[in-house]
Structure 1
Amino acid sequence: MKFFNTAFLFLIIITSSCVTNKKVQYMQHDDVNARQHSLPTDTVVRTYNLPEYTYLIQPEDVLSIRIQSLTGEEYDFFARAQNQGNQGAANRNQSMIGELVDPEGMIDYPVVGRLKVSGKTIFEVQDEIKELAGQYVAEPVVRIRILNFRYSILGEVDNEQTITVQNHRVTLPEAIALAGGLGELADRSQVKLIRSNGGVTKVVYVNLLEEDIMTSPYYYIHQGDILIIPPLRQRPMRRYFGQNLALFVSTVSVVLLAINLIN
């Protein structure tokens, strides 16, 4: 009897360690969960106004600045400077090729000179450089990209890492997808986000299980964000009993066989 009580208790523990879909599915909403089988296809269920987000250049950003014009290359100061930079860039990391924004928010660019860029959008800086370049070349076109926009993701993920992207409008779901997704035992309701800016560090928690996360001011990833994914409470039980399940089943089989032979 004691053996069967132990087996029954073990079965209860295994059952309680199961992870339901409600703890795994992203961006849930009650009415859709209740009526998802009756909803017609191609139907707009609801709409959300996404938070406004415009990335502002900040110190330690690395900018790729490309200037093209109708001026012949032999007379184009910018083209010659860019070609010289490209010749030495073959064996260098991409983030070392661009223009580093110094602690004062300034960059030094050939011909243009020293320019304040911190606190401005990419498009504002493009317009400023275009106006300055227009004094030297005909009909300049300026393209700027951020080469070192990065964030880190730690915890219950397949691969803890720091990810660098050139797209500075990355949402939380996109950031997680780029990292390979979360593990089954990740607690999606208590994701910690650490954000530093101007000497101030903020710690907030976001719930990825709720659909209205799209309206959160933390829906977009910022430069240098750190995401920490905590485990569900089921993790210790799942990992321990999962590893010992085969041993337990074998033991039960042997005991039942012995009882059957005795009787």
Structure 2
Amino acid sequence: MKTNYHIFIYIIMPFFLGSCTQNLFQSKKKGIDPVFYQSDSLTYTIKKDDKISISIWGHDDLGVGSIYGIYNSNEVYGKWLMVDKNGFIDVPKLGQFQIEGLSVREAEITLTKQFSTWIKEPIINVKVLNKEITVLGEFTSPGKLGLERDKNQLIDVLGFAGDFDFYADKSDIQVIREIDGETYVAHIDLTTIDGYHEKNIAILPGDVVYAPSRKGKTFDKKVTTLIPIGSAVSTLAIIASFIFEP
């Protein structure tokens, strides 16, 4: 019967010990892919489902969203235009305007030309309100992070995201970017000042910034888990001793 008891313990132990903390986006390749240094030549183009605000100097009735490019609380409550599934927005006075595929500057130039029919030398500001990145892992406040500025560097974004969690592995901060269906990962060591400018790469809308866990977190979690597990196993052992008692 003692053999059956031991078999019982061996069977149940994996159910308690099998789960542990596991980092995401694991990759053997380290360093920074050269594609991340080409960011300055990459201009954001407007996409379907983007939220667009348009401001026209001196003609608030024709604009949609904030005035003169300054953030306004109205944007939170829907005072913006959504790019539809066909890439169009419905602009006051103009009607349907195809904006998908244009950069912000290209949209401003095109709208300026079209509004020039009614307005002398119009000053138009276009803004994409939902340019976001995703911050995951060992941050105090992970989640979606809006990019207010046109150009954003890694250190700026980390500042906006709040502090790292205690268990963050700052020697392997990862930036994940998809370009034309290909996924690229930059592994960045923030524990040393060496190569600071090379590490402070540009961050683009749609990027994922990930802070993995240090190994210590797995160990600490296992220790705190093993205490109740030990108690549970002891209880099960007592029950098993009665079950398998001859």
Matches within 5 A, 1:1-263: 51-52=39-40, 53-69=42-58, 79-82=60-63, 94=76, 96-196=78-178, 200=181, 202-209=183-190, 211-212=194-195, 214-215=197-198, 219-237=201-219
CA RMSD of aligned residues (A): 3.4
State the secondary structure of the residue aligned to 2:61: helix
The alpha-carbon distance between structure 1 residues 95 and 54, as it changes in their structure 2 partners (threshold 3 A), is: farther
State the secondary structure of the residue aligned to 1:189: helix
- Displacement of 1:81 in angstroms is 4.1
CA distance in 2, matches of 1:206, 1:95: 38
Q: Which runs of no fewer than 5 residues in structure 1 stay unpaired? A: 1-48, 70-77, 243-263
Letter in 1 for 2:104: I
Letter in 2 for 1:57: I
CA distance in 1, matches of 2:114, 2:60: 15
Q: Which runs of no fewer than 5 residues in structure 2 stay unpaired? A: 1-36, 67-71, 225-246
Q: Over residues 168-218 of structure 1, what are the superposed CA-to-partner deviations in whole Å (9 max), with x where a residue is unaligned?
A: 3222211111111223431223333343466x36251421436547447x9
Normalised TM-score (structure 1): 0.57
The alpha-carbon distance between structure 1 residues 102 and 206, as it changes in their structure 2 partners (threshold 3 A), is: farther
CA distance in 1, matches of 2:177, 2:102: 19
- Displacement of 1:220 in angstroms is 2.3
The alpha-carbon distance between structure 1 residues 98 and 204, as it changes in their structure 2 partners (threshold 3 A), is: same
Are the equivalent residues in 2 in contact too, given 1:156–1:186 (CA < 8 A)?
Answer: yes
Q: Over residues 55-102 of structure 1, what are the superposed CA-to-partner deviations in whole Å (9 max), with x where a residue is unaligned?
A: 222222211101124xxxxxxxx533448x89xxx9965273212122
Letter in 1 for 2:124: V
The alpha-carbon distance between structure 1 residues 192 and 129, as it changes in their structure 2 partners (threshold 3 A), is: same
Q: Over residues 116-158 of structure 1, what are the superposed CA-to-partner deviations in whole Å (9 max), with x where a residue is unaligned?
A: 3223221121111111111011221101112111122111111
Letter in 2 for 1:181: D
State the secondary structure of the residue aligned to 2:109: helix
1:43 maps to which residue? Answer: none
- Displacement of 1:111 in angstroms is 1.5
CA distance in 2, matches of 1:193, 1:54: 18
CA distance in 1, matches of 2:100, 2:179: 13
Letter in 2 for 1:79: D
Are the equivalent residues in 2 in contact too, given 1:157–1:182 (CA < 8 A)?
Answer: yes
The alpha-carbon distance between structure 1 residues 176 and 109, as it changes in their structure 2 partners (threshold 3 A), is: same
Letter in 1 for 2:47: Q
Q: Percent identity?
A: 21
- Displacement of 1:240 in angstroms is 7.3
